[in-house]
Amino acid sequence: MDKFHFLYSALFLHLIIFYTGANAALNNFSTVPFGKGFRPLFGEPNIKRSADDNTVQLHLNQYTGSGFKSSDLYSHGFFSAKIKLPSDYTAGIVVAFYTTNGDVFRKTHDELDFEFLGNIRGKAWRFQTNMYGNGSTSRGREERYYLWFDPSREFHRYSILWTTKKIIFYIDNVPIREIIRNEEMGADYPSKPMSLYATIWDASDWATSGGKYKTNYKYAPFIAEFTDLALHGCVVDPLEEIFSSGCAEQDDQLQSANYASISPKQRVAMKNFRQKYMYYSYCYDSLRYSVPPSECVVDPLEKLRFKETGRLKFDEKRKQRRSKKSRSQDIGTRNNYGNQDED
Protein backbone atom coordinates (compact mmCIF):
# COMPACT_ATOMS: atom_id res chain seq x y z
CA MET A 1 0.00 0.00 0.00
CA ASP A 2 1.38 3.43 -1.00
CA LYS A 3 2.68 5.09 2.18
CA PHE A 4 1.26 8.55 1.45
CA HIS A 5 -2.10 7.08 0.50
CA PHE A 6 -2.10 4.96 3.66
CA LEU A 7 -1.28 7.89 5.95
CA TYR A 8 -3.83 10.13 4.26
CA SER A 9 -6.51 7.44 4.55
CA ALA A 10 -5.67 6.85 8.22
CA LEU A 11 -5.98 10.56 8.99
CA PHE A 12 -9.28 10.70 7.11
CA LEU A 13 -10.69 7.76 9.08
CA HIS A 14 -9.54 9.26 12.39
CA LEU A 15 -11.38 12.47 11.51
CA ILE A 16 -14.53 10.52 10.71
CA ILE A 17 -14.31 8.69 14.03
CA PHE A 18 -13.77 11.93 15.93
CA TYR A 19 -16.61 13.86 14.34
CA THR A 20 -19.15 11.04 14.43
CA GLY A 21 -18.63 10.53 18.16
CA ALA A 22 -18.10 6.83 17.55
CA ASN A 23 -15.62 6.63 20.42
CA ALA A 24 -18.39 7.13 22.97
CA ALA A 25 -20.45 4.13 21.88
CA LEU A 26 -18.67 1.32 23.72
CA ASN A 27 -17.47 2.93 26.92
CA ASN A 28 -20.48 2.15 29.08
CA PHE A 29 -19.78 -1.39 30.24
CA SER A 30 -17.99 -3.02 33.16
CA THR A 31 -14.75 -4.98 32.95
CA VAL A 32 -13.70 -8.09 34.85
CA PRO A 33 -10.37 -8.95 36.58
CA PHE A 34 -8.52 -11.86 35.04
CA GLY A 35 -8.92 -14.14 38.06
CA LYS A 36 -12.68 -13.67 38.18
CA GLY A 37 -13.42 -14.32 34.53
CA PHE A 38 -10.54 -16.27 33.00
CA ARG A 39 -8.09 -19.13 33.41
CA PRO A 40 -4.88 -20.24 31.66
CA LEU A 41 -5.28 -22.29 28.49
CA PHE A 42 -1.65 -23.29 27.76
CA GLY A 43 1.88 -22.03 28.37
CA GLU A 44 1.06 -20.93 31.91
CA PRO A 45 4.66 -19.85 32.75
CA ASN A 46 4.36 -17.42 29.82
CA ILE A 47 1.23 -15.77 31.21
CA LYS A 48 2.11 -12.71 33.32
CA ARG A 49 -0.63 -11.04 35.38
CA SER A 50 -0.45 -7.51 36.77
CA ALA A 51 -0.64 -6.82 40.50
CA ASP A 52 -4.20 -5.47 40.21
CA ASP A 53 -5.21 -8.45 38.00
CA ASN A 54 -6.71 -6.18 35.34
CA THR A 55 -3.93 -6.70 32.80
CA VAL A 56 -2.35 -9.88 31.48
CA GLN A 57 0.61 -10.46 29.16
CA LEU A 58 0.89 -13.43 26.83
CA HIS A 59 4.49 -14.33 25.93
CA LEU A 60 5.86 -16.37 23.04
CA ASN A 61 9.41 -17.69 23.14
CA GLN A 62 11.29 -20.45 21.34
CA TYR A 63 9.72 -23.04 23.68
CA THR A 64 6.03 -22.19 23.70
CA GLY A 65 3.32 -19.64 23.16
CA SER A 66 0.53 -19.04 25.64
CA GLY A 67 -3.17 -18.40 25.94
CA PHE A 68 -6.14 -17.98 28.23
CA LYS A 69 -9.89 -18.55 28.03
CA SER A 70 -12.97 -17.43 29.89
CA SER A 71 -14.00 -19.65 32.77
CA ASP A 72 -17.55 -19.93 31.43
CA LEU A 73 -19.43 -20.36 28.18
CA TYR A 74 -22.04 -17.84 27.06
CA SER A 75 -25.25 -18.33 25.10
CA HIS A 76 -24.47 -15.05 23.30
CA GLY A 77 -22.48 -12.05 24.37
CA PHE A 78 -20.36 -8.96 24.03
CA PHE A 79 -16.63 -9.69 24.38
CA SER A 80 -14.01 -6.97 24.47
CA ALA A 81 -10.45 -6.12 25.45
CA LYS A 82 -7.85 -3.43 24.99
CA ILE A 83 -4.88 -5.09 23.30
CA LYS A 84 -1.31 -4.03 22.56
CA LEU A 85 0.49 -6.25 20.07
CA PRO A 86 4.18 -7.26 20.03
CA SER A 87 6.57 -4.68 18.61
CA ASP A 88 9.51 -4.76 16.22
CA TYR A 89 9.86 -7.74 13.86
CA THR A 90 6.87 -10.05 14.45
CA ALA A 91 6.59 -11.97 11.16
CA GLY A 92 5.09 -15.44 11.54
CA ILE A 93 3.36 -14.64 14.82
CA VAL A 94 -0.41 -14.81 15.28
CA VAL A 95 -2.20 -13.08 18.13
CA ALA A 96 -5.81 -14.22 18.26
CA PHE A 97 -8.81 -12.85 20.16
CA TYR A 98 -11.81 -15.05 19.50
CA THR A 99 -14.82 -17.01 20.70
CA THR A 100 -15.24 -20.74 20.15
CA ASN A 101 -16.64 -23.97 21.59
CA GLY A 102 -14.21 -26.31 19.86
CA ASP A 103 -13.22 -28.01 23.09
CA VAL A 104 -16.86 -29.08 23.66
CA PHE A 105 -18.14 -29.58 20.12
CA ARG A 106 -15.04 -30.84 18.35
CA LYS A 107 -16.66 -31.70 15.01
CA THR A 108 -19.42 -29.08 15.00
CA HIS A 109 -17.74 -26.09 16.61
CA ASP A 110 -18.66 -22.41 16.21
CA GLU A 111 -16.10 -19.60 16.09
CA LEU A 112 -15.70 -15.83 15.70
CA ASP A 113 -12.16 -14.50 15.18
CA PHE A 114 -9.86 -11.56 15.28
CA GLU A 115 -6.45 -12.78 14.09
CA PHE A 116 -3.43 -10.47 13.79
CA LEU A 117 -1.03 -11.89 11.23
CA GLY A 118 2.44 -10.78 12.27
CA ASN A 119 4.34 -7.88 10.79
CA ILE A 120 7.58 -6.58 9.35
CA ARG A 121 8.62 -3.25 10.86
CA GLY A 122 7.64 -0.29 8.74
CA LYS A 123 4.72 -2.09 7.06
CA ALA A 124 1.02 -1.72 7.80
CA TRP A 125 -0.25 -4.46 10.13
CA ARG A 126 -2.67 -6.96 8.64
CA PHE A 127 -5.43 -8.88 10.35
CA GLN A 128 -8.47 -10.96 9.55
CA THR A 129 -11.93 -11.62 10.92
CA ASN A 130 -13.75 -14.89 10.39
CA MET A 131 -16.90 -16.82 11.28
CA TYR A 132 -17.60 -20.54 11.48
CA GLY A 133 -20.85 -22.23 12.42
CA ASN A 134 -21.45 -25.90 13.19
CA GLY A 135 -18.00 -26.99 12.03
CA SER A 136 -18.27 -25.26 8.65
CA THR A 137 -14.50 -24.86 8.30
CA SER A 138 -14.75 -25.59 4.57
CA ARG A 139 -17.05 -22.57 4.27
CA GLY A 140 -14.97 -19.99 6.09
CA ARG A 141 -15.99 -16.36 5.86
CA GLU A 142 -12.64 -14.59 6.04
CA GLU A 143 -12.11 -10.92 5.45
CA ARG A 144 -8.62 -9.41 5.57
CA TYR A 145 -7.65 -5.82 6.23
CA TYR A 146 -4.86 -3.38 7.04
CA LEU A 147 -4.86 -1.52 10.34
CA TRP A 148 -4.73 2.26 10.05
CA PHE A 149 -2.46 2.58 13.10
CA ASP A 150 0.47 0.80 14.72
CA PRO A 151 -1.16 -1.61 17.23
CA SER A 152 2.14 -2.20 19.03
CA ARG A 153 2.56 1.41 20.22
CA GLU A 154 -0.50 1.68 22.47
CA PHE A 155 -3.65 -0.13 23.50
CA HIS A 156 -6.65 -0.31 21.17
CA ARG A 157 -10.02 -1.86 21.94
CA TYR A 158 -11.25 -4.87 19.97
CA SER A 159 -14.78 -6.15 20.47
CA ILE A 160 -17.10 -8.89 19.22
CA LEU A 161 -20.87 -8.62 19.56
CA TRP A 162 -22.76 -11.87 19.02
CA THR A 163 -26.54 -12.02 19.34
CA THR A 164 -29.28 -14.24 17.95
CA LYS A 165 -29.70 -11.81 15.04
CA LYS A 166 -26.33 -10.31 14.19
CA ILE A 167 -22.57 -10.23 14.70
CA ILE A 168 -20.54 -7.02 14.77
CA PHE A 169 -16.75 -6.68 14.95
CA TYR A 170 -15.45 -3.41 16.39
CA ILE A 171 -12.05 -1.74 16.55
CA ASP A 172 -11.77 1.28 18.85
CA ASN A 173 -15.58 1.44 18.84
CA VAL A 174 -15.77 1.68 15.05
CA PRO A 175 -17.80 -1.16 13.50
CA ILE A 176 -15.68 -2.79 10.81
CA ARG A 177 -17.88 -5.76 9.92
CA GLU A 178 -21.54 -6.69 10.39
CA ILE A 179 -23.11 -10.08 9.68
CA ILE A 180 -26.92 -10.21 9.68
CA ARG A 181 -28.42 -13.63 10.28
CA ASN A 182 -30.87 -15.01 7.74
CA GLU A 183 -32.70 -18.33 7.34
CA GLU A 184 -30.54 -19.48 4.43
CA MET A 185 -27.44 -19.46 6.66
CA GLY A 186 -28.91 -22.28 8.72
CA ALA A 187 -26.36 -23.85 11.06
CA ASP A 188 -23.54 -21.81 9.50
CA TYR A 189 -24.54 -19.04 11.91
CA PRO A 190 -22.91 -19.66 15.34
CA SER A 191 -25.64 -20.82 17.71
CA LYS A 192 -24.05 -22.91 20.45
CA PRO A 193 -22.52 -21.48 23.65
CA MET A 194 -18.97 -20.19 23.29
CA SER A 195 -16.07 -19.10 25.49
CA LEU A 196 -13.72 -16.18 24.88
CA TYR A 197 -10.07 -17.01 24.08
CA ALA A 198 -6.82 -15.11 23.58
CA THR A 199 -3.60 -16.73 22.30
CA ILE A 200 -0.17 -16.01 20.86
CA TRP A 201 1.60 -18.67 18.79
CA ASP A 202 4.04 -19.38 15.98
CA ALA A 203 2.25 -19.65 12.63
CA SER A 204 5.32 -19.24 10.42
CA ASP A 205 3.92 -21.58 7.77
CA TRP A 206 1.12 -19.16 6.75
CA ALA A 207 0.70 -15.99 8.81
CA THR A 208 2.87 -13.34 7.14
CA SER A 209 2.81 -13.06 3.34
CA GLY A 210 1.59 -16.65 3.07
CA GLY A 211 4.50 -18.01 5.09
CA LYS A 212 7.24 -16.20 3.21
CA TYR A 213 8.52 -14.55 6.38
CA LYS A 214 9.13 -16.74 9.42
CA THR A 215 9.30 -16.09 13.14
CA ASN A 216 12.76 -14.94 14.21
CA TYR A 217 13.37 -15.77 17.88
CA LYS A 218 16.22 -13.29 17.96
CA TYR A 219 13.46 -10.80 18.84
CA ALA A 220 11.82 -12.98 21.52
CA PRO A 221 10.05 -12.85 23.82
CA PHE A 222 7.08 -11.60 21.81
CA ILE A 223 4.52 -10.04 24.13
CA ALA A 224 0.82 -9.35 23.58
CA GLU A 225 -0.84 -7.39 26.36
CA PHE A 226 -4.55 -7.44 27.27
CA THR A 227 -6.36 -5.12 29.68
CA ASP A 228 -9.91 -3.98 30.56
CA LEU A 229 -11.40 -7.32 29.59
CA ALA A 230 -15.19 -7.46 29.26
CA LEU A 231 -17.56 -10.43 29.30
CA HIS A 232 -21.27 -9.66 28.95
CA GLY A 233 -23.75 -12.44 28.32
CA CYS A 234 -25.66 -15.31 29.87
CA VAL A 235 -23.49 -18.05 31.40
CA VAL A 236 -24.75 -21.51 30.43
CA ASP A 237 -23.95 -25.20 30.59
CA PRO A 238 -23.34 -26.18 26.95
CA LEU A 239 -24.75 -29.66 27.53
CA GLU A 240 -28.16 -28.37 28.63
CA GLU A 241 -30.73 -28.84 25.90
CA ILE A 242 -32.85 -25.92 27.07
CA PHE A 243 -31.33 -22.74 28.46
CA SER A 244 -33.00 -20.87 31.29
CA SER A 245 -35.53 -18.11 30.67
CA GLY A 246 -32.96 -15.75 32.18
CA CYS A 247 -30.84 -16.17 29.06
CA ALA A 248 -33.71 -15.01 26.87
CA GLU A 249 -33.98 -11.89 29.01
CA GLN A 250 -30.23 -11.25 28.88
CA ASP A 251 -30.19 -11.84 25.11
CA ASP A 252 -32.92 -9.20 24.76
CA GLN A 253 -30.87 -6.79 26.88
CA LEU A 254 -27.83 -7.53 24.73
CA GLN A 255 -29.74 -6.69 21.56
CA SER A 256 -30.96 -3.41 23.00
CA ALA A 257 -27.51 -2.24 24.15
CA ASN A 258 -25.98 0.77 22.39
CA TYR A 259 -23.25 -1.36 20.82
CA ALA A 260 -25.85 -3.69 19.23
CA SER A 261 -26.98 -1.10 16.71
CA ILE A 262 -24.97 0.94 14.22
CA SER A 263 -25.89 4.59 13.86
CA PRO A 264 -25.88 6.32 10.45
CA LYS A 265 -22.65 8.11 11.38
CA GLN A 266 -21.02 4.86 12.47
CA ARG A 267 -22.04 3.34 9.15
CA VAL A 268 -20.12 6.09 7.38
CA ALA A 269 -17.04 5.17 9.42
CA MET A 270 -17.52 1.46 8.68
CA LYS A 271 -17.99 2.06 4.95
CA ASN A 272 -14.84 4.18 4.79
CA PHE A 273 -12.83 1.60 6.70
CA ARG A 274 -13.92 -1.18 4.39
CA GLN A 275 -13.29 0.85 1.25
CA LYS A 276 -9.81 1.89 2.30
CA TYR A 277 -8.46 -1.06 4.30
CA MET A 278 -10.18 -4.30 3.29
CA TYR A 279 -8.01 -6.19 0.79
CA TYR A 280 -9.75 -9.60 0.73
CA SER A 281 -13.40 -10.60 1.01
CA TYR A 282 -14.87 -14.07 0.63
CA CYS A 283 -17.99 -12.39 -0.78
CA TYR A 284 -16.01 -11.43 -3.90
CA ASP A 285 -14.05 -14.69 -4.16
CA SER A 286 -15.91 -16.21 -7.10
CA LEU A 287 -13.33 -19.01 -7.44
CA ARG A 288 -14.24 -20.19 -3.97
CA TYR A 289 -17.94 -19.36 -4.04
CA SER A 290 -19.55 -19.27 -7.49
CA VAL A 291 -22.62 -17.96 -5.69
CA PRO A 292 -21.82 -15.66 -2.74
CA PRO A 293 -23.04 -16.95 0.65
CA SER A 294 -26.49 -15.66 1.55
CA GLU A 295 -25.31 -13.11 4.13
CA CYS A 296 -23.12 -11.31 1.58
CA VAL A 297 -24.31 -7.86 0.52
CA VAL A 298 -22.62 -7.47 -2.86
CA ASP A 299 -22.09 -3.90 -4.01
CA PRO A 300 -21.65 -3.96 -7.83
CA LEU A 301 -19.35 -0.94 -7.77
CA GLU A 302 -17.28 -2.29 -4.90
CA LYS A 303 -17.06 -5.68 -6.63
CA LEU A 304 -15.21 -4.05 -9.53
CA ARG A 305 -12.32 -3.31 -7.15
CA PHE A 306 -11.71 -7.03 -6.50
CA LYS A 307 -10.29 -9.87 -8.54
CA GLU A 308 -12.11 -13.19 -8.93
CA THR A 309 -9.84 -14.45 -6.14
CA GLY A 310 -11.49 -12.01 -3.73
CA ARG A 311 -8.29 -9.96 -3.46
CA LEU A 312 -8.09 -6.26 -4.14
CA LYS A 313 -6.99 -5.06 -7.56
CA PHE A 314 -3.92 -2.82 -7.19
CA ASP A 315 -3.45 0.21 -9.38
CA GLU A 316 -0.60 -0.45 -11.84
CA LYS A 317 0.89 3.05 -11.51
CA ARG A 318 0.99 2.67 -7.74
CA LYS A 319 2.71 -0.69 -8.10
CA GLN A 320 5.32 0.92 -10.36
CA ARG A 321 5.92 3.67 -7.79
CA ARG A 322 6.33 1.05 -5.06
CA SER A 323 8.78 -0.87 -7.23
CA LYS A 324 10.94 2.22 -7.81
CA LYS A 325 10.79 3.08 -4.12
CA SER A 326 11.82 -0.41 -3.02
CA ARG A 327 14.89 -0.29 -5.27
CA SER A 328 15.99 2.96 -3.68
CA GLN A 329 15.48 1.88 -0.06
CA ASP A 330 18.39 1.42 2.29
CA ILE A 331 19.92 -2.03 1.72
CA GLY A 332 20.47 -2.63 5.42
CA THR A 333 16.80 -2.09 6.24
CA ARG A 334 15.77 -4.57 3.57
CA ASN A 335 18.27 -7.14 4.79
CA ASN A 336 16.94 -6.87 8.33
CA TYR A 337 13.23 -6.97 7.66
CA GLY A 338 12.61 -8.20 4.14
CA ASN A 339 10.03 -6.84 1.76
CA GLN A 340 6.49 -7.76 2.68
CA ASP A 341 4.30 -8.53 -0.34
CA GLU A 342 1.35 -6.27 -0.98
CA ASP A 343 -0.60 -9.23 -2.30
**Rounded distance between C-alpha atoms, residue 100 and residue 134, angstroms:** 11
**Rounded distance between C-alpha atoms, residue 323 and residue 333, angstroms:** 16
Note if 316 is an active site residue.
Answer: no
CB 266 within 8 A of CB 175: yes
**Rounded distance between C-alpha atoms, residue 116 and residue 104, angstroms:** 25
Using alpha carbons, select from 141, 33, 136, 125 the residue that is nearest to residue 85: 125
Using alpha carbons, select from 91, 148, 100 the residue that is nearest to residue 120: 91
For CA atoms 268, 342, 118, 14, the dihedral sign is: negative
Catalytic-labelled residue, pool 44, 115, 154, 225: 115
**Rounded distance between C-alpha atoms, residue 342 and residue 2, angstroms:** 10
Catalytic-labelled residue, pool 111, 143, 225, 295: 111
CB 38 within 8 A of CB 69: yes
Alpha helix positions (H), the chain: 3-20, 34-37, 245-256, 264-277, 300-303, 316-328, 331-337
CB 286 within 8 A of CB 30: no
Burial 191-213 (b: 16+ CB within 10 A, else e): bbbbbbbbbbbbbbeebbbeeeb
Helices 3-20 and 264-277, packing angle to 10 deg: 170
Q: Report the DSSP beta bridge partners of residue 195.
A: 100
Sheet holding 73-84, edge to edge: 47-49, 55-60, 222-236, 73-84, 156-162, 166-171, 174-180
Note if 111 is an active site residue.
Answer: yes
Q: Give the Cα-Cα-Cα angle 149, 156, 152 (nearest 5 degrees).
A: 55
Active site residues: 111, 115
